[in-house]
């Protein structure tokens, strides 16, 4: 059977999909009667953009900070290849020093890769740093081709193919970043461009990679959603024309609160790699959080032997202490209060069986024992849990000493207190309540 030919639609005017992106209204979700079947690859993995997209949202890391983050990513990965690659800017002396420090570690995972513009001169930087793979910016929507680059589709495609050839000629594996893919003409540009990349890959016998970049977070995770926003159809269409799942990567943003589910959806429909950054920090609303994708992977494929899940907690502590990250207290998996309960009825449940109000064994898997915060909602059960988690003792929740502490807390809030009770206050009041019978700390 002859291969289907995908012809570039070299239109005179840009297709801005105004029926989907009116701009003066919220984007429109369109559905079709036709869905696509899921196609979960045998292996799926994570790539990291902390040192590229992640640095577009904050002051630059020092080379030494980059190295420490890189070491922690390697520690989490545990030589499994779950966190397969990191990408780095190459433009400043600071960028290049960071690359040199990380490369000197000699880790197999995460592999150090570059990121450059679609400019031939930038390949000199890739070669100078001794990298074998680099991302290349190849914007694909008419918003970018017509309105930013001031080119036609034919001119843009020709320029992109030239730069890909230049990379291949120099022995560098190109990773084409399809910027703004969720507003691009799929049949008129994405498929024809991808078909040409397939031809080049066959000619050079090199696996050209494609990164699907949901630049403004328009992606939708439902199989019946319509292109260009449908993540399942974006991935499935490329798989159907012969792009291997190993050469596909998803890169999302969180503008419409779908960043993590879209990345997981890309996995489910045949894309092997999901790009992420630590704690979701990236341009504007950020990228898929690396720690969330690690736990999502464990839920889809099962926990991997060798992965150090508890090192996620270590990474969060480093980010907060040394990098100035302000991680919200209720942030999933690593926030200060992620597994802390305040309600007395919840604390009572925790005392009976931790599984009632804890989503998994947070102490075993993330080195985060479940805790109870002391507020006006805590009650005697919460105080009992707080004491037993810190002191070598068991105590009844109706013990007079517990009741004394509960009454002291109630008095605080009766006086219009609004903040939680601190650990220092609790230790002081416990000492007062127990006196000479003060139990030893755990």
Q: What is the mean pLDDT of residues 46-61?
A: 94
- pLDDT of the residue at 361: 84
Task: Tokens for 189, please give them.
Answer: 């540009």
Asked if 174 and 205 sit in the same domain, the reply is yes
Q: Would you state the pLDDT for residue 357?
A: 67
State the total domains in the chain.
2
Whether 345 shows a pLDDT value over 60: the answer reads no
DSSP bridge pairs for 276: 48
Place 175 in a pLDDT band, splitting at 50, 70 and 90. very high
Q: Is the pLDDT of residue 19 over 90?
A: yes
Residue 124: count other Cβ atoms within 10 Å of its Cβ.
Answer: 12
Domain identity same for 193 and 220: yes
Q: Within 140-241, where are the H helices?
A: 142-145, 153-169, 191-204, 231-240
Helix (H, G, I), strand (E, B) or coil at 400: helix
Asked which of 288, 322, 356 is the last residue of a domain, the reply is: 322
Does residue 1 lie within any of the structural domains? no
Q: Say yes or no: 307 and 191 in one domain.
A: yes
Cα–Cα distance for residue pair 335/234, rounded to 1 Å: 33
Q: What is the pLDDT of residues 269-282, one digit of tens each?
A: 999 999 999 999 99
Task: Inform me whether the pLDDT recorded for 166 exceeds 60.
Answer: yes
Verify that 289 and 388 share a domain, yes or no. no
State mean pLDDT over 118-136.
Answer: 88
Buried residues in 300-310 as b, exposed as e (16+ CB within 10 A): ebeeeeebebb
Q: Are residues 396 and 269 in the same domain?
A: no
| 307 and 384 assigned to the same domain | no
Q: Indicate the residue among 293, 322, 351 that finishes a domain.
A: 322
Is residue 129 domain-resident?
yes
Question: Is 132 in the same domain as 195?
Answer: yes
- Residue range 79-108: mean pLDDT, rounded: 96
Q: Which of 275, 296, 322 is the last residue of a domain?
A: 322
Indicate whether 342 pLDDT > 80. Answer: no
Let me know if residue 333 belongs to a domain. Answer: no
Residue 11 belongs to a domain: no
Query: What rounded mean pLDDT belongs to the chain?
Result: 92
Q: What is the CATH number of the domain that holds 311?
A: 3.20.20.70
Query: What phi and psi, each to the nearest 5 degrees, are found at residue 280?
Result: 75, 10
How many angstroms separate the CA atoms of 29 and 410, rounded? Answer: 50
- Asked whether residue 362 falls in the same domain as residue 299, the answer is no
What's the domain range around 410?
340-437
CA distance 158 to 367: 52
Q: Do 126 and 262 sit in the same domain of this protein?
A: yes
- Whether 103 is in a domain gets the answer yes
Within-domain flag for 91: yes
Least confident of 135-149, 180-194, 198-212, 370-384: 370-384
Is 3 contained in some domain?
A: no
Tell me whether residue 69 is in a domain. yes
Q: What is the mean pLDDT of residues 207-229?
A: 98
Residues 316 and 351 in one domain: no
Give the mean model confidence (pLDDT) for residues 5-18.
Answer: 95
What pLDDT is recorded for position 343?
54
pTM equals 0.87
**How does DSSP classify residue 32?**
-
Residue with tokens 């600071």: 94
How far is C-alpha 49 from the geometric centre of its chain's CA atoms?
A: 9
Mark whether 155 and 304 lie in a shared domain: yes
Check residues 298 and 386 and name the one with the higher pLDDT: 298
Task: Give the tokens for residue 337.
Answer: 């209060």
Residue 346 has pLDDT above 80, yes or no: no
386-431 pLDDT, tens digit per residue, is 788 788 888 998 999 999 999 998 898 888 887 778 888 888 999 9
One domain for residues 253 and 344: no
């Amino acid at each position: 059977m002859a291969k289907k030919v995908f012809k570039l639609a070299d239109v005179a005017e840009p297709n801005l999909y105004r029926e989907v992106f009116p701009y003066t209204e919220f984007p429109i979700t369109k559905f079709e009667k036709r869905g696509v079947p899921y196609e979960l690859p045998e292996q799926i993995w994570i790539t990291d953009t902390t040192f590229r997209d992640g640095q577009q949202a904050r002051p630059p890391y020092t080379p030494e900070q980059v190295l420490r983050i890189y070491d922690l990513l390697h520690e989490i990965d545990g030589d499994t290849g779950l966190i397969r690659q990191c990408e780095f800017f190459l433009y400043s002396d600071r960028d290049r020093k960071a690359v040199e420090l990380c490369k000197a570690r000699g880790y197999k995972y995460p592999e150090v890769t570059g990121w450059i513009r679609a400019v031939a001169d930038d390949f000199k930087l890739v070669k100078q740093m001794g990298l074998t793979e680099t991302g290349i910016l190849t914007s694909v929507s008419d918003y970018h081709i017509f309105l930013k680059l001031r080119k036609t589709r034919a001119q843009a495609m020709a320029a992109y193919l030239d730069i890909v050839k230049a990379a291949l000629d120099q022995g560098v594996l190109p990773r084409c970043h399809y910027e703004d893919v969720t507003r691009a003409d799929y049949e008129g540009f994405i498929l024809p461009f991808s078909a040409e990349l397939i031809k080049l890959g066959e000619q050079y016998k090199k696996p050209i990679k494609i990164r699907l970049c949901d630049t403004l977070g328009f992606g939708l995770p439902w199989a019946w959603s319509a292109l260009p926003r449908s993540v399942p159809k974006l991935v499935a269409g490329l798989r159907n024309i012969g792009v291997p799942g190993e050469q596909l990567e998803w890169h999302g943003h969180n503008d419409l609160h779908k960043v993590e589910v879209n990345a997981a959806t890309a996995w489910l429909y045949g894309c092997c790699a999901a790009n992420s950054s630590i704690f979701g920090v990236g341009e504007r609303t950020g990228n898929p959080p690396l720690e969330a994708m690690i736990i999502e992977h464990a839920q889809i494929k099962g926990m991997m032997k060798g992965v150090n899940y508890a090192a996620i907690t270590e990474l969060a502590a480093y980010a907060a202490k040394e990098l100035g990250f302000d991680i919200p207290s209720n942030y999933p998996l690593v926030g200060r209060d992620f597994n802390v309960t305040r309600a007395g009825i919840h604390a009572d449940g925790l005392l009976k069986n931790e599984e009632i109000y804890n989503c998994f064994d947070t102490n075993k898997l993330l080195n985060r024992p479940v805790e109870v915060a002391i507020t006006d909602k805590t009650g005697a059960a919460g105080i009992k849990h707080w004491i037993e988690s810190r002191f070598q003792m068991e105590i009844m929740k109706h013990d007079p000493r517990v009741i004394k502490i509960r009454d002291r807390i109630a008095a605080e809030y009766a006086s219009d207190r609004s903040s939680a009770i601190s650990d220092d206050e609790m230790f002081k009041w416990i000492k007062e309540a127990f006196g000479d019978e003060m139990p030893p700390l755990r």
